[in-house]
Amino acid sequence: MIALLFPGQGAQTPGFLHRLPDHAQVRATLEQASEVLLHDVLQLDTEAALRSTISVQLALLISGVAAARALHAEGVTPSVTAGLSIGAYAAAVVCGALEFADALTLVRRRAQLMEQAYPSGYGLAALVGLNEPQVGALLAALRAEQHAEVYLANLNGPRQIVVAGSDAGLNLLLARARQAGARRAERLAVSVPSHCELLAQAAQELAQLASTLHFHTPQIPYIGNRNARALRHADAVRDDLVENIRYPVRWHDGLCLMAELGVRCFIEAPPGQVLTGLLSESLPELGALALASDGLARTVARVRVYQAEPL
């Protein structure tokens, strides 16, 4: 079984749409997105444009769908899809639960709501070397003692955790995390406090738009962000997409679930190699390919090798 993974915000780098594989399906996807958005989407990945949450999230969606379509054209079809945060929208498109044009509309509104809610002074930080109970204790202490706005956001690995909050709260947390033994504690290139209760109102408004769009029964399982479960119904996918800005993402649990389902080869859509890195650290016995570094032809060739190997 093959899983196709889609990265979240923070994986972007200037020019990443221009570095997508030179493939007819990629070109067609870029053209379709430009027609829907009434804007040349190849302008979304400039250094200046990527300062906007809206540009980043749209570009990541487009990149993921374009890569998946190119892989499909070359005979690589996933058995399951999963996306981290904004990556979940590409996963929903690829599993057949959401039309690409509707995903573009929904993601644009998602990013607008997030940006409007917290235009500055908030963001995300990564902690490596502390587990969930340790981080939870630090967060609880800061909220109680300092009234700090800091919250659990992503559980990317047993000891790789992302937190969300205000700049002041995150600075306090990073200092305490280092004192508690964190190997790494640093801010991420994300300017909004995703996956926590600070975005509860934004999630409610996003749900109103999502309710007007048609969701389909997934053709293959979609792994949810909030509960790390295999979702097989249209309404469940809709709810997960809407709620993933309000609740922590249990990414590591999702990887473990996919392995239990029988996935042996994981492919990360561009850009970057963050998700394959997490996979290699947590489940090193499984195959991890990153399209951004391996390239389309090599990825397809390596997938065929995995498919030919006995279980």
Q: pLDDT digits over 79-129, tens only?
A: 999 999 999 999 999 999 999 999 999 999 999 999 898 878 999 999 999
Query: Active-site residue among 55, 63, 195, 282?
Result: 195
Span of 53-57, 232-236, 305-309 with lowest mean pLDDT? 305-309
What's 190's DSSP letter?
-
Q: Determine the Cα–Cα distance for residues 193 and 260; give it in Å rounded to an integer.
A: 31
What average pLDDT does the chain have?
93
From the CB of residue 271, how many other CB atoms can be counted at a distance below 10 Å? 25
CATH architecture of 2-117+197-308: 3-Layer(aba) Sandwich (3.40)
CB neighbour list of residue 154: distance below 8 Å, 6 or more residues apart? 8, 84, 85, 124, 161, 162, 195, 248, 249, 251
pLDDT of residue 185: 95
With H, G, I as helix, E, B as strand and everything else as coil, classify residue 266: strand
Q: Determine the Cα–Cα distance for residues 125 and 303; give it in Å rounded to an integer.
A: 34
> Which is more confidently placed, 145 or 24?
24
> Could you tell me which of 123, 163, 106, 156 has the C-alpha nearest to residue 140?
163
Amino acid at 248: P
Span of 62-76, 180-194, 257-271 with lowest mean pLDDT? 180-194
Distances (CA, A) of 26 to 20, 56, 101: 7, 18, 15
What percentage of the chain exceeds 70 in pLDDT? 99
pLDDT of residue 62: 98
Span of 26-30, 203-207, 283-287, 295-299 with lowest mean pLDDT? 283-287
pLDDT at 308 over 80: no
CB 85 within 8 Å of CB 199: no
CB 95 within 8 Å of CB 220: yes
pLDDT of residue 272: 83
pLDDT of residue 311: 52
Q: Determine the Cα–Cα distance for residues 119 and 187; give it in Å rounded to an integer.
A: 17
- Known catalytic membership, residue 85: yes
What's 184's DSSP letter?
E
User: Domain ranges in the chain?
Assistant: 2-117+197-308, 122-187
Task: pLDDT band for 310, please (50, 70, 90 cuts).
Answer: low
Angle in degrees, CA 224, 139, 12, rounded to 5: 50
Over residues 167-176, mean pLDDT: 95
Over residues 211-227, mean pLDDT: 96
Structural fold of domain 122-187: Alpha-Beta Plaits (3.30.70)
Query: Active-site residue among 63, 85, 194, 282?
Result: 85
Q: Determine the Cα–Cα distance for residues 95 and 217; give it in Å rounded to an integer.
A: 9
Confirm whether 2-117+197-308 and 122-187 share one CATH topology. Answer: no
Q: Determine the Cα–Cα distance for residues 173 and 165; give it in Å rounded to an integer.
A: 10
Beta strands in 73-220 (DSSP E): 80-83, 122-128, 150-157, 160-166, 184-187
Predicted confidence (pLDDT) per residue in 229-266, tens digit: 999 999 999 999 999 999 999 999 999 999 999 998 99
Predicted confidence (pLDDT) per residue in 113-170, tens digit: 998 988 789 999 999 999 999 999 999 999 998 888 999 999 999 999 999 999 999 9
Q: Determine the Cα–Cα distance for residues 236 and 228; give it in Å rounded to an integer.
A: 12
CB 3 within 8 Å of CB 266: yes
pLDDT at 68 over 60: yes
